[in-house]
Chain A
Amino acid sequence: MKSAEKGTARVTLAMQADAETQAKIAAFAEQRGCPNVRYTLDPSILGGIVIQIGDTIYDGSVRTRLETVRRSV
């Protein structure tokens, strides 16, 4: 990861989150050593959230869940 992005959590959402949700996201990132959060809107994830902190990816997107369901079938 580049040094400028170090300490930054990259958050991908399908639609804009309200302030309360953004605060919870920021708190989640801060607990993991990332005081900064950079948001990206990507409707293709359909819903939910994807957070990348360093090499760790937290994937709670609807698309991934559907994919998991499809694979399990």
Chain B
Amino acid sequence: MTNVFMQTAAQLLANPFEALGLEWQSVVLHLFNLVVLTVGLYFLLFKPVKKMIRERQEKIRKIEKDNAALSEEVKQMKESTEQVLSDAKKEAAVIRENAVKEANRRADDIVGRARDEAKNMIAQTERSLGEERRGLQKEIERQIADVSVLVAEKVLEKNIAPEDNKKLIEDCLTEWNSHEKR
């Protein structure tokens, strides 16, 4: 068997085409066909596919680039939104604080005014009461005077003595005389 193998190897080395049952023209033709097929495939399939893949890659890169830019934009928008939100919160806090201060100030004003009005009303009421009291006092005094005079009239009407009346008349005459002499 080794001899057969050695014999075949020797024939293959000496005349490979013949050993394999091939003709060199056929091999050359096949090689030519292979070259033609390769060139044809290169131009008809490999090149367009390569171009398409390159275009796809380019498109994907562009999409990735756009995506990155979009992501960056979204990130910036998010940051901007957060900033705006933060500013809005700060502004809202300031507005609320100012509103509370203003409300407190107004409340203080209202309370102050109410207190002043109450004081004025109390003072006014006290004045009115004082005036009313003085008026009543005067009225009472007047009525007492009227009653006293009435009582005195009634008493004098019945009880005045002629001697007293005479003295009264003489006192009057003396007084008028002395007045006119002055």
A interface, CB within 8 angstroms of B: 13-15, 17-18, 20-21, 24-25, 28, 31, 43, 46-49, 58, 60, 62-63, 66-67, 69-70, 73
Contacts and interface: CB of A to CB of B under 8 A. Distances in A.
Given A14-B160, A49-B169, A67-B149, 11 more contacts: A13-B169, A15-B165, A17-B169, A21-B170, A28-B173, A48-B168, A58-B176, A60-B175, A62-B156, A63-B153, A70-B149
Given A24-B170, A25-B173, A66-B153, A14 B165 contact: yes
Nearest to B145: A73
Contacts of A73: 141-142, 144-145, 148
Query: Interface of chain B, helix or strand or loop or mixed?
Result: helix
A69 B153 CA distance: 12
The 3 closest A-B pairs by CB, nearest first: A60-B172, A73-B145, A70-B149
B157 A66 contact: no
Contacts of B169: 13, 17, 21, 24-25, 48-49, 60
B2 interface: no
Nearest to B163: A18
A62 B173 contact: no
Interface residues of B, number: 25
A21 B166 contact: yes
A48 B152 CA distance: 14
Contacts of A60: 168-169, 171-172, 175-176
A66 B153 CA distance: 8
B3 interface: no
Contact of A46 (B156, B170, B177): B156
Interface in B132-179: 141-142, 144-146, 148-149, 152-153, 156-157, 160, 162, 164-166, 168-173, 175-177
